[in-house]
Each structure stands twice: as structure tokens, then as C-alpha cells.
Amino acid sequence: MDHLRPLPPEDPAAAGPSGVGTVPDLAHLLRQAARGDESAFARFYDLTGDKAYGLALRVVRNPSHAQEVTQEAYLDVWRQSARYEESRGSVLAWLLTIVHRKAVDRVRSVESSSQREVTWERAARPVDHDDTAETVHASLEGRRVRSAVAELTPVQRQAIELAYFGGYTHTEVATLLDVPLGTAKTRIRDGLIRLRDTLGVGS
């Protein structure tokens, strides 16, 4: 597939009162897409596009960047559709994980670009050791958090990413992951406990 058509603006009303609806037959559509069926993939895109764009926008907070992130994510889904395994979670959760990773990559890229500009601006000024120490500390803290998240189990990481990076409620996370609400809450709670222990944060 060479390209995707432009993603329409998010329509929260179309997803129901909670913003999250039940999407049928996604696994079947993805299997068809894996065999090269572009019409099936277009249907898959229509059914999931609002949620994917909504998550991207929550992370990057820029409509233009969110559009680009969403397009990149769907291109990856198209290329990797044959690799999806139902045993590892719902199709929607798999898609949103890809979208989230793309969005985080975009945020890091934009931040790196901004940091380079700040570095050039400060190059001709005396070094402020306090500012430098704070910058290094913040960078190290960010690395610690990313490392801690990487140590979570796949199901814990998925739930944490949706709840705290994606901004979804526990009920919405349960719907997106296609699990009972209690299961979603348990994954989020266990993930937070593991993060706290890994980071050495007091209870």
C-alpha cells in the first residue's frame, strides 16, 4: 500500500458516550490485509482511525504531528499485519501500542531538535553550572523511568501506557484491551507497584 487517505478529524460522538466503542471483526480484517487485501485494510482504518488519532494527539499535543504519527503507525501495521498474534492481546491494543510508540518517538525527536537549538543559543554565553546539573538530572530521571517501564510485563506495560501515557480511564483501558475491568485495574496496579519498586520510590 503506497499511502493512506487523510485521516478525518476525531469525532468523539461516533465512539459512544465514553469515547470508546466496541469494534467488530478487526482480527479478520487484519488477516485479510496480511494477504494483501487493501479494501479490508481500508475498512480496518475506518473502524480504528479515530481512536488511533486520538491517542497520538494526547501524546504529541499537536494536530499536524498527530496526523503524521497516525499515518506512520498504519503503514507499520500494514507491513506487519502478518505478524499479529491474537494470543498476545486484542488487535486494537496492538494497534494503539504501535501508535503510542510512534508518538513517543515523535515527542523525543521534537524535544531533541528543540534542545539542539537551545544549545546553540547558549553556546556563546557563560556556562550556568546549576542549569547544567538540572538538565542532566532530568535526562537521567527520564532514562530511569523508560528503563523501569521496559522491565514491566507486556500486559502491564500495555495497560500503563494506555492509562498514564494515553490518558484513558480504567474502563476505557479495559475496553481497548478487551479484558474485564477488574483485570485492567489489576494490571495497572501491579505495573505501578513494580515501577515504584524499580525506581525506589516510597509507598
Q: Of 111-120, 153-162, 192-201, give the lowest mean pLDDT range.
A: 111-120
Mean of pLDDT values over 57-75 = 93
Of 100, 67, 75, nearest to 176 (Cα)?
100
Grid cell in block for residue 143 = 532514562
Measure the CA–CA gap between 199 and 122, rounded to whole angstroms: 32
When mean pLDDT is compared over 100-104, 175-179, 197-201, the highest value belongs to 100-104
pLDDT value of residue 115: 54
Is the predicted pLDDT of residue 73 greater than 80, yes or no? yes
Give the pLDDT confidence of 81-107 residue by residue, as tens digits. 998 887 777 898 899 989 998 998 888
Is the predicted pLDDT of residue 122 greater than 80, yes or no? no
- Residue pair 176/93 in contact by the 8 Å Cβ criterion: yes
Mean pLDDT of the chain: 76
pTM given for the model: 0.55
Is the predicted pLDDT of residue 131 greater than 80, yes or no? no
Distances (CA, A) of 12 to 16, 54, 136: 7, 9, 40
More confident residue, 202 or 79: 79
Measure the CA–CA gap between 200 and 165, rounded to whole angstroms: 21
Assigned CATH for 1-125? 1.10.1740.10
- Residue pair 100/59 in contact by the 8 Å Cβ criterion: yes
Helices assigned H by DSSP within the chain: 26-34, 38-60, 63-80, 91-122, 129-150, 154-160, 170-177, 181-199
Mean of pLDDT values over 156-167 = 79
* CATH class assigned to 130-203: mainly alpha
More confident residue, 77 or 201: 77
How open is the CA angle 183-20-53, to the nearest 5 degrees? Answer: 115
Grid cell in block for residue 39 = 479494501
Q: Can you give the residue ranges of every domain in the chain?
A: 1-125, 130-203
**Residue 21: how many other CB atoms lie within 10 Å:** 14
